[in-house]
A and B are shown apart, each in its own frame.
Chain A
Amino acid sequence: MTSSHRAWAYGDNVNTDVIFPGKYTYKVRDPKDFAAHALEDLDPSFATQARPGDVIVAGRNWGCGSSREQAVTALKYAGVVAIIAASFNGLYFRNCVNNGVLPIVCPGLRDAVATGDIIRIDQAAGEIFVGEARFTYTPPPPGVQAILDAGGLLPMLQARFRG
């Protein structure tokens, strides 16, 4: 099963201060308003033009910097369902999983994709297609996939506490 997505392409070392500026972390408190500031200091067009189902394709070390989870949820509320990077900051990677945003480590993809391109993802097989070109990645281990399937850590806990 593959799904099609429109890509937003960015470079290396995109840090949490540009994904979601620290000055808003205690000011903007409604998650729906996070999206309005997503990537504000890197790409002002993103917040106005992102659509549900979009993905981000980036270089190395996506999400380095702060632990702020808004750097994931701002993108999620903007519609982003997956982030494909050459590598991730570890804390950011876990924040993705815990918020049900699929993080994919796929080093070769960045150079093959430009903003606006359509890519297709086959999560079960660990494959990404850009036109005819095929890229592979390692799907997450079952424990991590279970959190993603639940939609994140919160829904998982809700199932546990609310039964």
Chain B
Amino acid sequence: MTGYTFAEKALARAAGVASARAGDLLDVRPDVIFSHDNTAAIRKTFLQTGAQRILHPERVCITLDHAVPAPTTDHALNHAEIRAWVAEQGIRHFFEVGRGICHQVISEEALVLPGEVIFGSDSHTPHFGWMGAFGMGVGRTEMAALWAVGELWLRVPESMRVTLTGALSPGVTTKDVSLHLIGAHGIDGGEYRSVEFAGDALDALSIDERSVLPNMMAEFGAMSAYMPPNQRVFDYLEAKRQRNYTPLYPDADAEYAEDIHIDIGSLRPVVARPHQPDNVAPAGDLYGEVVQQAFLGTCTNGKYEDLVAAARVLKGRRVSIRTLVIPSSAEALKRAAADGTLSILLEAGATIGTPGCGPCMGNHMGVPAPGEATISSANRNFKGRMGTSDASIYLANPYVVAASAITGRITDPGEFLS
């Protein structure tokens, strides 16, 4: 008998069964469920079921983040409906406009913990793999069902292991590791799988650096992602956590559908060119490609350390194109304000937006005009993602975004970091 993967262990636990194997169909009861601006639409479906009260309101988190502050009356109405619902159902974990992006806020608030299962009506829910939680995105009907009955059917995924060794070079980040992986294996390389990271390289990573990898696994087709939690993770969660937890680790002899090894020390800054996250090329090879806007933000790379990275490049320099910085949370913004990072960005000519998703999915300020190209620290660059289908999106790490903001071209940050 071979051992169990993390996904098999976490889902067996949440389904209340002794053990589970990839391929098993389980009714899983997540510890935490969340939604965002799509909560009002979920409410409509929920009420159609005939249920009236959310079964476990204490497990529900709701964050207003996708279009904040409300850019139109429609969005304002949507937010108002959600506030009324939150009050009616007694949902305590509600985060208002400006608090930040759901994945980042729930992480900062330690509302989910290692070894737990979290389902969100957002495709980047694998994000919570950074702490060793099983995160999976669900549809709106599924979220309505979770409100009503607290459980959801799912097929236990096969797992693949990605072992990272070595140390990142200056100007290279876990965004490059993610894009490299997706570029090498395609946007369906992790399809319907749990991507379980392993290897010595993980120990050196900060919390902000960790969270990029599982977040980006949504672009790999993964159902979920996992990183083994370490002391740094436990310390981060300690101050805010409201319950005990038991971290889970895959068995040494667990069976993986695929084993991939990456020496992250060999990586250079890369860029995903339009219109797919696996269309990856070295940033240094793309200097001929002109961009009209730089966007630093999103649940992938709008964190405090991402702002610091951009500030390292922009210190004492000026941007030559419009440059939008939208911190992923109020906490990130406060820290950047307190230590002077924000001043550096402002001095360089950047514009600062309200913590939230910003123009990431084309719903809020900062959307491009037809024919324009944006260099972005986001996760997804499909055609039409930022609004118009005639715009191009290049995905990169914060150093590349900042360097490109200076030159107005896709730029390897190397020369700005010495």
Minimum C-beta distance from A145 to chain B (A): 11
Interface residue? B387 (CB, 8 A): yes
A161 to B25, CA, bound (A): 23
Q: Could you list 16 further interchain pairs (A-B, Cβ under 8 angstroms) beyond the known A23-B384, A29-B41?
A: A17-B384, A18-B389, A22-B384, A23-B387, A26-B37, A26-B75, A26-B78, A61-B187, A66-B380, A90-B192, A143-B153, A154-B48, A157-B49, A157-B148, A158-B48, A161-B49
Give the contact stretch, choosing among A49-57, A91-99, A116-124, A127-135: A91-99
CA separation between A27 and B364, bound complex, in Å?
Answer: 12
Q: How far is the CB of B200 from chain A (nearest CB, A)?
A: 30
B75 touches A157 (CB 8 A): no
Q: Is A81 positioned at the interface, with any CB of B under 8 Å from its CB?
A: no
Please provide the 5 A-B residue pairs with the shortest distance between their CB atoms, ordered closest to farther: A161-B50, A61-B188, A157-B49, A17-B382, A90-B192
A13-B188, A67-B123, A157-B145 in contact; A26/B382 too (CB < 8 A)? no
Q: Are B363 and A23 within 8 A (Cβ)?
A: yes
**Most chain B beta-carbon contacts within 10 A, residue among A27, A61, A87, A91:** A91
Q: Do A94 and B51 touch across chains, with their CB atoms under 8 A apart?
A: no
Residues of A within 8 A of B187 (CB): 13, 61, 64
- The secondary structure that dominates the B interface is loop
Whether B123 and A69, one on each chain, are in contact in the complex, defined by CB atoms closer than 8 angstroms, is: no
Query: Counting chain B CB atoms within 10 Å of each CB, which of A64, A72, A87, A93 scores highest?
Result: A64
Near B by CB (< 8 A), chain A positions 77-112 give: 87-91, 93-95, 98-99
Chain B residues 124-174 with CB under 8 Å of chain A are: 136-142, 144-145, 148-149, 153-154, 157
**Residues on A facing B (Cβ under 8 Å):** 13, 15-18, 21-23, 25-27, 29, 41, 60-61, 64-69, 72, 87-91, 93-95, 98-99, 141, 143-144, 147, 152-154, 157-158, 160-162
Bound form: Cα–Cα A158–B148 in Å:
11
Minimum Cβ distance to chain A for residue B372 (Å): 15
User: When the two chains form their complex, are residues B123 and A90 in contact, meaning their CB atoms are under 8 A apart?
Assistant: no
Closest-CB distance, A143 to chain B (whole angstroms)? 5
Q: Which of B373-413 contact A (CB under 8 A)?
A: 380, 382-385, 387, 389
Residues of B whose CB lies within 8 Å of any CB of A are 25, 37-38, 41, 45, 48-51, 66-67, 74-75, 78, 121-123, 136-142, 144-145, 148-149, 153-154, 157, 186-188, 191-192, 221, 223, 276, 361-363, 380, 382-385, 387, 389
Q: Is the CB of A66 within 8 A of B191?
A: no
A153 touching B385, Cβ below 8 Å: no
Of the listed residues B67, B78, B139, the one surrounded by the most CB atoms of chain A closer than 10 A to its CB is B139
Docked Cα-Cα span, A68 to B123, in Å, equals: 8
Candidate in B75, B153, B157 with the most chain A CB atoms within 10 angstroms: B153
**In the complex the two chains form, what is the Cα distance from A8 to B361 in whole Å?**
27
Please measure, in the bound complex, the distance between the C-alpha atom of A126 and the C-alpha atom of B156, giving whole angstroms.
22
What are 20 inter-chain pairs, A to B, with CB distance below 8 A? A13-B187, A13-B276, A23-B363, A25-B38, A26-B66, A26-B363, A67-B137, A90-B192, A91-B137, A91-B138, A98-B141, A98-B142, A144-B25, A153-B142, A153-B145, A154-B49, A157-B51, A158-B50, A160-B50, A161-B50
